Chains A and B, each alone.
Chain A
Amino acid sequence: MTNPTSPAAPGQSRGERNFARVQAGMKKRRAAETRFRLYGMIAVGLGLSFLLVLMFSIVSKGYSAFLQTYVRLDVPLLEEVIDPEQTRQLDTLRSADYGALVKQNLRDMFPEVTGRRDKFALYNLVSNGAGFDIRDRVLANPDLIGTTLSIWVAADDDVDMLLKGHIERTGPEADRRIKDNQLAWIDKLNAEGRLEKRFNVAFFSNGDSRDPELSGIRGALMGTIFTLIVTLSLSFPLGVAAAVYLEEFAPKNRWTDLIEVNINNLAAVPSIVFGLLGLAVFINFFELPRSAPLVGGLVLTLMTLPTIIIAGRAALKSVPPSIREAALGIGASPMQAMLYHVLPLALPGMLTGTIIGMAQALGETAPLLMIGMVAFIADVPQGIFDPSTALPVQIYLWADSPERAYVERTSAAIMILLAFLALMNTVAVLLRKRFEQRW
């Protein structure tokens, strides 16, 4: 940028020297600039690629859980096994040994299998739940007895894993979960068109089970829903009331300062500490039932309350004072001004904060472990006093299970959990957009 035409006025030499030095340093500085920008891009890129890897790993592991291998059986519903006395009484029908029918049927299909151990291996191809499926069909229509029922029942998880390619067919037999004879039977069933991958209904309709092919998320999901109902119905009113008091009515003194510091700190207290609180106070002191959504909800209420209060205060703060002044000016009491004029305007913001708090509560695991919502519970809970787990806890439990089939089920449960979270956050974002107001 040196300009030969510009006359060198006296006293300018120093400026020109400076300018030369600036120019000399430019290359290095530009390089440093590019480097720094690159570091920034790498950092953002790393963060985003972690997200991508995480999502990919979950989805690639989990998507197959939505399909499950089913076996078609043509089971003769022998009257002498189900209802030898032909009473057609519900109790009799209910307690009949349908499993024996399945076994019988399997033996008929593979008459060459004789040894006790081989038979056992054969029975193992079909889920333990097969008998229950047949029972349900019979109970629904007792006239079926005596006919041959063609029914798709869940295959055992090992068969499922084999067909999904998660278990090796080769290698030393002793190390394999599926032995050579089982492989032959499976191949034969497959060749006969008796094996098929179908939508995994059990995953959505069942509670937890020791058999992977029978286990589902319904119980955990209901537990989560009950827990969140308790959390929401407590934390929203409490949070809004506290936010209103602290923002609108509380005098500014050391006492309210303390409450403020306290709330900000609570928002950052590790969640497991809330679990300890729940264990000591709600279960040991108040003797509320262990493992119940009620206690889970109470603990999560205390945990999400700071989030909701902080969001609520921010929402109230964003309502301009002119609204309050206008209401007070026409003779409303401070309470009326707040209740009829300020609160309705702040409510969308408060709702957004509440949804975000609920999303937090939905994903929380550690405090629930402390209050016993971590037991194996096969029944779907019916209310807030029933023992139950929650979706994240179910994920934790399944992640710890050794069976290969639980890996995909864990991932699938995670996908469900993330879907719920995404839904809640989307609603929060939309709500914010919809009611966003610039004053």
Chain B
Amino acid sequence: MTQGKSMTVNAFEDTHETKPVKPQSTATVHRDVRETVGEVRVEDPRIRCTDVNVYYGEKHAIKNISLDVGKGEVLAMIGPSGCGKSTFLRCINRMNDTVSSCRVTGEILLDGEDINGRHIDVVPLRARVSMVFQKPNPFPKSIYENVAFGPKIHGLVQSKAELDEIVEASLRKANLWDEVKDRLDDPGLGLSGGQQQRLCIARSIAIEPEVILMDEPCSALDPISTAKVEQLIDELRQNYSICIVTHSMQQAARVSQRTAYFHLGDLIEIGKTDDLFIKPRHQLTEDYITGRFG
């Protein structure tokens, strides 16, 4: 599928040649894996990833990544394009399943349970770990139907009244209700870009997931819309764990509690957002946040 293909290309852009922290050894399988610096683990994690590797065919896109996502926190993933942060994000709700050449190893625990386990069904998994995409992608339906889509397919409601309630609550949470309450039957595609993206977030939270994955949700938006979405993310943190991939370091600094820095498929450094931006511990992180590349 096209999304997958473009990811494949991004994931291996081998343009940033940097000095390896660990000397290369030909003996190990993952010879160019770098050790992660910083606090990988948190107490009481929502998601715990251990030694996650992703391969696209022969290409090793994600290398031995371990990290935790805590409850009620926003984890920002930053890094130059092609560093694998989006790929990693898509592992968390198994969106990579749709890419036939993609193979994932390692362990990803959601509330202590391996999501790649044999008996796990992706459908209920994705109802718990929902995803918002880079480009706003409202369905060609009315605003109401867009938000109602998830609750309907998952059978979360028993009555129209209940559904109305969920739609309103979700739109309110997404700070969109006041703008659209009079035209719920208008097509979702008729909204502005920022409104569309908030509609997509509303659509995601309508199914009350535990984790929301956001893949550069503001990259297609203007600054005002971006500000609204960022404010929304901050509010949503109360009830959800959020992983957000972003190109903008300012955005990561504004919305996240912890930040992870990816580089060429490696997780270089992870830690409290404030610490990471103020005194990065790894040379590569410092180079990146001081704007030497990326």
Which of A5, A6, A12, A22 lies in contact with B154, CB distance below 8 A?
A22
Contacts of A11 in B (CB 8 A): 239
Task: Report how far A15 CA is from B127 CA in the complex, Å.
Answer: 10
- Which residues of chain A from 9 to 55 have any CB-CB distance to chain B below 8 Å in the complex? 9, 11-12, 14-15, 18-19, 21-26, 29
Q: Do B127 and A18 touch across chains, with their CB atoms under 8 A apart?
A: yes
Q: Do B125 and A1 touch across chains, with their CB atoms under 8 A apart?
A: yes
Contacts of B239 in A (CB 8 A): 11
B101 to chain A, nearest CB (A): 19
Q: Judge whether B23 is part of the interface by a CB distance below 8 angstroms.
A: no
Stretch of B116-124, B187-195, B260-268, B269-277 lying at the A interface: B116-124
Q: Do B112 and A1 touch across chains, with their CB atoms under 8 A apart?
A: no
B45 to chain A, nearest CB (A): 10
- Which residues of chain B from 101 to 130 have any CB-CB distance to chain A below 8 Å in the complex? 111-113, 120-121, 123-125, 127-128
Q: Judge whether A437 is part of the interface by a CB distance below 8 angstroms.
A: no
Residue on A nearest B125 in the bound complex, by CB = A1
Q: Judge whether A114 is part of the interface by a CB distance below 8 angstroms.
A: no
Which of A3, A18, A26 lies in contact with B156, CB distance below 8 A?
A18
Which of B71, B120, B156 lies in contact with A22, CB distance below 8 A?
B156
Contact-residue size bin, chain A (C-beta under 8 Å from the other chain)? 10 to 19
Contacts of A3 in B (CB 8 A): 111-113
CB within 8 Å for A26 and B112 given contacts A11-B239, A15-B210: no
Q: Judge whether B207 is part of the interface by a CB distance below 8 angstroms.
A: yes
Q: Do A1 and B124 touch across chains, with their CB atoms under 8 A apart?
A: yes
Task: Report how far A148 CA is from B53 CA in the complex, Å.
Answer: 90
Q: Judge whether B291 is part of the interface by a CB distance below 8 angstroms.
A: no
CB within 8 Å for A29 and B210 given contacts A18-B154, A24-B155: no
CB within 8 Å for A21 and B156 given contacts A5-B112, A6-B111: yes
Q: Do A19 and B128 touch across chains, with their CB atoms under 8 A apart?
A: yes
A35 to chain B, nearest CB (A): 16
Q: Do A25 and B71 touch across chains, with their CB atoms under 8 A apart?
A: no
Contacts of B154 in A (CB 8 A): 18, 21-22, 25
Contacts of A21 in B (CB 8 A): 154-156
Q: Do B207 and A26 touch across chains, with their CB atoms under 8 A apart?
A: no
Residue on A nearest B111 in the bound complex, by CB = A6
Task: Report how far A29 CA is from B153 CA in the complex, Å.
Answer: 9
CB within 8 Å for A14 and B208 given contacts A19-B128, A21-B154: yes
Q: Do B120 and A18 touch across chains, with their CB atoms under 8 A apart?
A: no
Contacts of B44 in A (CB 8 A): 7
Q: How many residue pairs at the A-B interface have CB separations less than 8 Å? A: 46
Residue on B nearest A25 in the bound complex, by CB = B155
Task: Report how far A188 CA is from B210 CA in the complex, Å.
Answer: 91
A22 to chain B, nearest CB (A): 5
Contacts of A9 in B (CB 8 A): 71
Q: Do A22 and B112 touch across chains, with their CB atoms under 8 A apart?
A: no
Task: Report how far A19 CA is from B155 CA in the complex, Å.
Answer: 10
Task: Report how far A15 CA is from B128 CA in the complex, Å.
Answer: 8
Number of interface residues of B (CB under 8 A): 21
Contacts of A24 in B (CB 8 A): 155
Task: Report how far A29 CA is from B124 CA in the complex, Å.
Answer: 11
CB within 8 Å for A22 and B155 given contacts A11-B239, A29-B123: yes
Which of A5, A6, A22 lies in contact with B127, CB distance below 8 A?
A22
- Which residues of chain A from 178 to 194 have any CB-CB distance to chain B below 8 Å in the complex? none
CB within 8 Å for A15 and B208 given contacts A26-B121, A29-B123: yes
Contacts of B112 in A (CB 8 A): 3, 5-6
Contacts of B111 in A (CB 8 A): 3, 6
Which of A5, A18, A29 lies in contact with B208, CB distance below 8 A?
A18
Contacts of B153 in A (CB 8 A): 29
Task: Report how far A370 CA is from B125 CA in the complex, Å.
Answer: 64
Task: Report how far A5 CA is from B154 CA in the complex, Å.
Answer: 25
B111 to chain A, nearest CB (A): 4
B42 to chain A, nearest CB (A): 15
B120 to chain A, nearest CB (A): 7
Contacts of B124 in A (CB 8 A): 1, 19, 22-23, 26
B262 to chain A, nearest CB (A): 28
Q: Do B127 and A1 touch across chains, with their CB atoms under 8 A apart?
A: no
Contacts of A1 in B (CB 8 A): 113, 120-121, 124-125
Task: Report how far A7 CA is from B120 CA in the complex, Å.
Answer: 21
Residue on B nearest A12 in the bound complex, by CB = B210
Task: Report how far A51 CA is from B154 CA in the complex, Å.
Answer: 40
Task: Report how far A5 CA is from B48 CA in the complex, Å.
Answer: 15
B44 to chain A, nearest CB (A): 8
Residue on B nearest A14 in the bound complex, by CB = B208
Which of A6, A18, A29 lies in contact with B207, CB distance below 8 A?
A18
Residue on A nearest B209 in the bound complex, by CB = A15
Most buried by A among B120, B124, B207: B124
Contacts of A6 in B (CB 8 A): 111-112
Contacts of B209 in A (CB 8 A): 15
B69 to chain A, nearest CB (A): 14
Residue on B nearest A9 in the bound complex, by CB = B71
Task: Report how far A55 CA is from B210 CA in the complex, Å.
Answer: 56
Contacts of A25 in B (CB 8 A): 154-155
Task: Report how far A26 CA is from B125 CA in the complex, Å.
Answer: 11
Contacts of B208 in A (CB 8 A): 14-15, 18
Hey, what's the 0/1 contact readout for B204-230 against A, CB within 8 Å counting as 1?
000111100000000000000000000
Task: Report how far A12 CA is from B111 CA in the complex, Å.
Answer: 13
Q: Do A19 and B127 touch across chains, with their CB atoms under 8 A apart?
A: yes
B48 to chain A, nearest CB (A): 12
Hey, what's the 0/1 contact readout for B34-71 against A, CB within 8 Å counting as 1?
00000000001000000000000000000000000001
Contacts of A18 in B (CB 8 A): 127, 154, 156, 207-208
Contacts of B125 in A (CB 8 A): 1
Contacts of A19 in B (CB 8 A): 124, 127-128
Hey, what's the 0/1 contact readout for A213-255 against B, CB within 8 Å counting as 1?
0000000000000000000000000000000000000000000
CB pairs A–B below 8 angstroms (5 shown): A1-B121, A5-B112, A18-B207, A21-B155, A29-B153
9 A-B pairs closest in CB distance: A25-B155, A6-B111, A3-B111, A22-B124, A22-B154, A22-B127, A18-B208, A15-B208, A21-B156
B residues apposed to A, CB below 8 Å: 44, 71, 111-113, 120-121, 123-125, 127-128, 153-156, 207-210, 239
Supply 13 further A-B pairs (C-beta < 8 A) apart from A18-B207, A22-B124: A1-B113, A1-B120, A1-B124, A6-B112, A11-B239, A14-B208, A15-B128, A15-B210, A21-B156, A22-B123, A22-B155, A22-B156, A25-B155
